[in-house]
A and B are shown apart, each in its own frame.
Chain A
Amino acid sequence: MQVSLDGCARVALRGRLDAQTVVVCWNLLEQKLRTSKINVLELDASSLQFCDGAGLALLRYLNMGKMTPSANVSVLGLELELEKLFLGFTSGDYEAFRSTAPVQRHSLPEEVGESVSHTAADLREQVAFLGEIMANLPPTMLDRKRMRWPEVRRIFELAGANAVPIVSLISVLGGIIIAFESAQPLAQFGAQIYVTNMIGLVMVRELGPLLAAILLAGRSGSAFAAEIGTMKVNEELNALETLGLDPIRFLVVQRITAGIFLTPLLTFYATFMGVAGGVLVTLGLGFPLTLIYHQLVSSVHLSDVALGMAKGVVFGAIVSAVGCLRGLQTQQGPSAVGISTTRAVVTSILLIVIADAMFSIIFFSLIK
């Protein structure tokens, strides 16, 4: 490459102009062209042996006057084929690209407004979905052919039976942790035996249902969203629709039914394992089993167990319904299913906690 600079500049290009040599040329030209005042620039490409896309891009860049803003730049001597390729992308095309500005950023109030309207729309959708479920659940459940009980069984196994190991582990450990943590402060008052009462109440009324529901949300709510979301992306939901099958009736009702039936069972199991963990600790502290049993029976009433089971039913309905809703709301694109599963878990846990708070308030005012 030779550069001779006078009033008008002329750059003679020789040899290969490819992705490697363009980098070298670029640095050289940057040094020489940017620093001098040039009115006319001629690029002589007649001795080029090879020129690829990167080389042509460099020529076009120079030709657009990007390095020499005030100069009139011409490219001479390009081979016929290269000339054709060179003219295939003009400065006009580049300007056209520049004018298609990327998505504009919104101002803060706009963002806030948009997010509020999104949340409102989402709430509206949730209410509409709830209505649709309410309208579809009883008639479908009574219609044996439509209900597809084998599907309910499959989900029952997948979301319920297969969750038993992890629920066992977490509940037992939860019980053990709470028992140990509370044993020490209670010992200061000589009230260690009340660890049993506390474990009983806490597990039956609160932690059993919560643990079961949160595990269900993480394991199965997300799975529902992913499954239905993938079906939506693959147009399987459209296929159902045009076959005259309502996705709510065909997919959602089964999952919610399974959720409503399996969560109380899972809750009962989680509660039992949690209490067992606590009992283990109190046994280790030296209390006899009969005493522990009496403490448990005297502190936990049937109403507490009923409350726990009722929570299980509600939480199960929430988790499975939210999982299905988020699946149905899946958009297009590769990240859509991932977004749906995340939203399913987050919304499920949020609604579970809200429902739990409402349970507490209602129960408190009932007893008063």
Chain B
Amino acid sequence: MSDAPQIAITVRNLKIGYGTKVILQNVSFQVRHGEVFVILGGSGCGKSTLLKNLIGLYAPIEGEVWIEDGNFLAAKDEERLRFLRKFGVMYQSGALFGSMTVLENVRLALDEFTALPEPVKELVALAKLKLVGLGAAAQKLPSELSGGMQKRAAIARAMALDPRILFLDEPSAGLDPVTAAGLDLLIRELAHHFGITFVIVTHELASIYKIADRVIMLDSRTRTIIAEGKPAELREHAADPWVRRFFNREADSAEAAQPK
């Protein structure tokens, strides 16, 4: 694995928006392999939109996204498919296919993209489910699972082909603290023991402190990145008072809420 590139994702000068409306601009950052990288920001600042641009669902107005050493957004057809297999995505709602059992959801990519023998595919899928703690739910339909279980099943599905990068959209939103902590532990373990790179969109402070190696913070006023670093450092030393308030979970004071 030593021959693999050190940089997982490079984002250069991304400008994103809908139509002519610009949501974020001048967004540049790098994510190293094995790192848990968190994209932060207040509600409505464009975190999820940025994620959708990174994974190629939306096309940015300008800028580039490189995955390892290839320009992902410029890739077409077969080449694009090769890029897509380098990462997995967990959507906010889980987005499991409702007509398939959980096991079939996880197996889908294996069935489509590998020539593995049947029993091996089944074992791979079962092992992924066991890894996320859903071994007993393999035969269930997504609608029979709770929200937290659906998210974990979605992580298992994203991991089916052993991608080196996982994108997670709001993994702990709507989960109880115990389940959310379990998910944090899982992310930590996958990152540290198996070298999986995580790019996570969230605003759950508690889990950011536990899992994040590095965070970037987006701001809806300046429409760009206003802070980058380790969460503990940002809490103490961020230049922008709003960033410090965010990390210390303080409400906007009356004065700060006034338009300048």
Contacts and interface: CB of A to CB of B under 8 A. Distances in A.
Interface in B98-124: 98-99, 110, 114-117, 119-121, 123-124
Q: How large is the interface on A (under 10, 10 to 19, 20 to 34, 35 or more residues)?
A: 20 to 34
B143 interface: yes
A58 interface: yes
A207 interface: no
B189 to A, nearest CB: 9
Contacts of B115: 23
> Chain A CB within 10 Å — which of B123, B138, B160, B161 has the most?
B123
B127 A88 contact: yes
A239 interface: no
A198 B251 CA distance: 80
Contacts of A333: 98-99, 141, 143
Main secondary structure of the interface of A (DSSP, over half): helix
A26 B193 contact: no
A50 B1 contact: yes
Contacts of A332: 143
Contacts of A102: 139
A53 interface: yes
Interface in A69-124: 81, 84-85, 88-89, 93-94, 96-97, 100, 102
B7 interface: no
A238 to B, nearest CB: 16
A22 B194 contact: no
A89 B126 CA distance: 8
Contact of B120 (A61, A94, A96, A335): A61
A94 B99 contact: no
Interface stretch (B128-136, B206-214, B240-248): B128-136
A151 interface: no
B162 interface: yes
> Chain A CB within 10 Å — which of B1, B116, B120, B130 has the most?
B120
Given A19-B114, A52-B162, A335-B99, A94 B126 contact: yes
Nearest to B96: A334
Contact of A57 (B99, B123, B161): B123
Given A19-B114, A22-B120, A333-B98, A97 B135 contact: yes
Nearest to B120: A57
Contacts of A301: none
A54 interface: yes
A313 interface: no
A56 B127 contact: yes
B98 A335 contact: yes
A54 B1 contact: no
A47 to B, nearest CB: 15
B130 A89 contact: yes
A102 B122 CA distance: 15
A156 B132 CA distance: 52
Contacts of A22: 116, 120
A60 interface: yes
Contacts of A50: 1
> Chain A CB within 10 Å — which of B126, B136, B138 has the most?
B126
A334 B162 contact: no
A247 B116 CA distance: 52
A66 interface: yes
A75 B57 CA distance: 43
A211 B141 CA distance: 41
Contacts of A81: 193-194
A232 to B, nearest CB: 14
A126 B117 CA distance: 50
A26 B143 contact: no
Nearest to B160: A53
B116 A89 contact: no
Contacts of B139: 97, 100, 102
B146 to A, nearest CB: 13
Interface string A232-247: 0000000000000000
Contact of B119 (A56, A66, A84, A93): A66
Given A26-B120, A81-B194, A57 B135 contact: no
B162 A61 contact: no
Nearest to B141: A333
A58 B120 contact: yes
Given A333-B98, A333-B143, A57 B136 contact: no
A89 B161 contact: no
Contact of B123 (A23, A60, A88, A335): A60
A100 B138 contact: yes
A94 B98 contact: no
B193 A97 contact: no
B98 A334 contact: yes
Contacts of A94: 123, 126
Contacts of B110: 19
Contacts of B97: 334
27 contacts: A22-B120, A26-B117, A26-B120, A53-B127, A53-B128, A53-B159, A53-B162, A54-B162, A57-B127, A60-B123, A61-B119, A61-B120, A66-B119, A81-B193, A84-B193, A85-B131, A88-B131, A93-B126, A94-B123, A97-B126, A97-B138, A100-B138, A102-B139, A333-B98, A333-B99, A333-B143, A334-B99
Q: What 3 pairs across the A-B complex have the smallest Cβ distances? A: A57-B123, A334-B98, A89-B127
Interface of A: 18-19, 22-23, 26, 50, 52-54, 56-58, 60-61, 66, 81, 84-85, 88-89, 93-94, 96-97, 100, 102, 332-335
Given A54-B162, A88-B130, 13 more contacts: A19-B110, A54-B116, A54-B120, A57-B123, A57-B127, A58-B120, A81-B193, A85-B194, A94-B123, A96-B136, A97-B138, A333-B98, A335-B98
